[in-house]
Chains A and B, each alone.
Chain A
């Protein structure tokens, strides 16, 4: 099949011309469209990055503002606490007061080292929390809830520095009277006048409240915000089933993915940037930045379809239009080329017929004035002239052929005559040879022995010589007679 196609193209100038022009045109189109797509893709990508980064900045700003508010409130309370550590009962007032003055806070604990207040026993933590806009205060800590083993107390205590915890649920104590929300806490070590770390002040905010602040920003219709804790767990995610119990890397625990791990590593290391992630057969752009003063990371996840949706929607109709346009162009080229090549085809046909000896086939007339038409006219003239000339030649050839045949016959006859003549002459010569030899012999004898020969002998010899000469004369007469007969025949 391919060979047939190749053979067709090799044999048809029209097909080859059409093919080459089509290839060049299609190539030019494809290159142009590709470059158009590439640059517009880049422009859209840059715009989308700008938009997403702007949204990320806004999200970060909101998160930072909230964090700053909490830290500010905690710092103010800490200042008061550290100046009144000798008044343990005051701690209950301070823990309640911070909530009354900052209603968006969830709870506050002012906890001290075991036996710091000896008369208060091993556990002393003034804890206040808000339920239905009412602030409740209690003494936190017991044998069943050793707060000094909990992250919110232990980590700032060990680091001797403020610390934002990841989310947790602080209802492990049996004396909880209600089910707590998941919370995050800002925890600050409490120091006495000597600079010793004697406890921790922790201010809690509800994670659901915080996530509403963070997740409010949507740069694209289907994009969403996430926030990751230090251990990679989701603090904010639109899918609540993932909150608190899954991390970014959970889906890849059983089947690691190096690209995903690289992205997760970068996010958890406190870096900024973006990655393209593939999930459930779709691509997502993940823009991320660290949240200042915490070990958290905030990210905006944008489906690729959101960013390039309109661009992709444009792609298909554009490709269809371009394809149809190219097809139309090719068809148009085929028609035009064929139209202009038609006289040439006619010329070819005529030339073929001419070469096959059919000089009567007329070359169609062409009313155009282009080069092919001129060539066609000239060819037609040439065809006529050649036709006449060839006719003449044919006639002459016929005559010549006849003459040639005659000459040939005559030549054959002549040759035959000559052959006969030669045969006769040869025969005659052979006939004459014997008597002549006799005559010569007799002559030699007479010449050599005339003195010794008798008259009788001499007469015999002469008779022999005369006899043989008569033979020769007869033969010569025959030859002469034959020659005269031939001459008469030739004259006729």
Chain B
């Protein structure tokens, strides 16, 4: 009798976007059952696998965005069994186009234990009285850019319409706005570059590993004077990392360490086998009906891996940098986005976090 491997996703777990997949999985299993007439053995194996799945530490982490290759390391860690080796049953979720990871982690219906946030979002959240701890850091550099749709220097476009994504608060843009009194009129949009290309906004905040590539794919020319790179202008602050609630971290320190190690394995494997890693990532895109092409995802992964490198040491370090935390504190305090410093020790869970309400603007 052929060995029926335990399903990756148990039918006890319903994934809203994968309803069809779960149904197909069950249908296949029943077909196999009928073909080999080993219902009892199958049931036993299934029960054992379910127990095995249930026995592992379940950990639901929500990515920062809809499925893309900037989460490849996590997909790889799951598909290659690194999480399983670490005794973890990691489930990867994604926010919807008009929802955010924040909601998935903090809302009651969210159901996620962890989320991928940028450093500044995490700091603002902590200062807002919602303690978070960084358990794993991928980004070592800022990818944010401002691009003008009108062929001008974004810093000269005072009062312009600034397009920003709804997925996460764009702190650097706000900081720049306040510093230079740009008085941008903020337009929040869900996705894509059509708002930019149609010139419904004058400037847009973009990341170098996605929207900028989309603009190139659309044949949009970006002369240097129309682009403002935060990393090149003293605002090089790390972005995405995995954060859990402080109380969760305190109760699951060992698991978080294992998660970090397995995730690191996933990313290092990705860096060493980019083509195979891309195959895994494309599978996740297809599963979530995310339409994209391999060419742009290849370039995206290349840029993501570049941004994971500490430009000073040339290495992927997978850690928060205290100097960048200090810089973020200074910038956000100057822009009155933080009432207090959020320390490096707080972020890595080595110090208790004090909650103070955050008195800055909302969307």
Contact = CB atoms under 8 A, between A and B. Distances in A.
A254 B297 CA distance: 11
Contacts of A171: 289
A186 B166 CA distance: 24
B187 A158 contact: yes
B219 A155 contact: no
Given A163-B198, A249-B219, A154 B189 contact: yes
B295 A151 contact: no
Contacts of B296: 250, 253
Contact of B198 (A147, A230, A232, A268): A230
B4 interface: no
A144 B190 CA distance: 12
B43 interface: no
Given A143-B99, A150-B98, A253-B296, A268 B291 contact: no
B195 interface: yes
Q: Which of B161, B200, B292 has the most CB of A within 10 A?
A: B200
B195 A154 contact: yes
Given A247-B217, A249-B216, A265-B219, A150 B190 contact: yes
**Chain A: interface residue count, which band?**
35 or more
Interface string A139-161: 00001111101110011001100
Interface in A215-252: 230-233, 242, 244-251
A93 B296 CA distance: 43
A468 B189 CA distance: 166
Contact of B293 (A151, A163, A245): A245
Contacts of A143: 99, 103
Given A150-B190, A151-B192, A230-B197, A145 B98 contact: yes
A295 B192 CA distance: 16
A149 B295 CA distance: 28
B193 A250 contact: no
A442 B161 CA distance: 164
Contact of A231 (B193, B201, B292): B193
B217 A149 contact: no
B4 to A, nearest CB: 29
B226 interface: no
Interface residues of B, number: 35
Contacts of B160: none
Given A146-B166, A155-B195, A158-B187, A247 B96 contact: no
Contacts, number: 108
A268 B194 CA distance: 13
Interface string B280-298: 0000000001011101101
Nearest to B196: A231
Interface in A338-368: none
A472 to B, nearest CB: 140
Contacts of A163: 198
B16 interface: yes
Interface string B38-71: 0000000000000000000000000000000000
A232 B219 CA distance: 7
B200 A264 contact: no
A295 B198 contact: yes
B98 A144 contact: yes
A476 B98 CA distance: 165
A335 to B, nearest CB: 65
Interface in B231-284: none
A174 interface: yes
Contacts of A245: 291-293
Given A244-B291, A254-B295, A154 B213 contact: no
B200 A231 contact: no
B336 to A, nearest CB: 26
Interface string A158-202: 110001011011011110000100000000000000000000000
Nearest to B107: A143
Given A149-B166, A150-B190, A254-B295, A249 B98 contact: no
A249 B218 contact: yes
A143 to B, nearest CB: 7
B194 A165 contact: yes
Nearest to B161: A158
A261 interface: yes
A173 B213 CA distance: 26
A248 B96 contact: no
A33 B200 CA distance: 58
Contacts of B198: 155, 159, 163, 230, 295
A104 to B, nearest CB: 24
Contacts of A145: 96, 98
Contacts of B295: 246, 250-251, 253-254
Given A169-B289, A244-B291, A155 B216 contact: no
A74 B42 CA distance: 57
B299 A253 contact: yes
B306 to A, nearest CB: 15
Contact of A158 (B201, B219, B298): B201
Contact of B98 (A146, A231, A242): A146
B97 interface: yes
Contacts of B96: 144-145, 172-174
Contacts of B16: 174
Nearest to B302: A254
A150 B198 CA distance: 14
A230 B98 contact: no
A155 B99 contact: no
B217 A261 contact: no
9 contacts: A144-B96, A149-B166, A171-B289, A174-B96, A231-B193, A232-B218, A246-B293, A247-B219, A249-B218
Interface of B: 16, 96-99, 103, 161, 166, 187-190, 192-195, 197-201, 213-214, 216-219, 289, 291-293, 295-296, 298-299
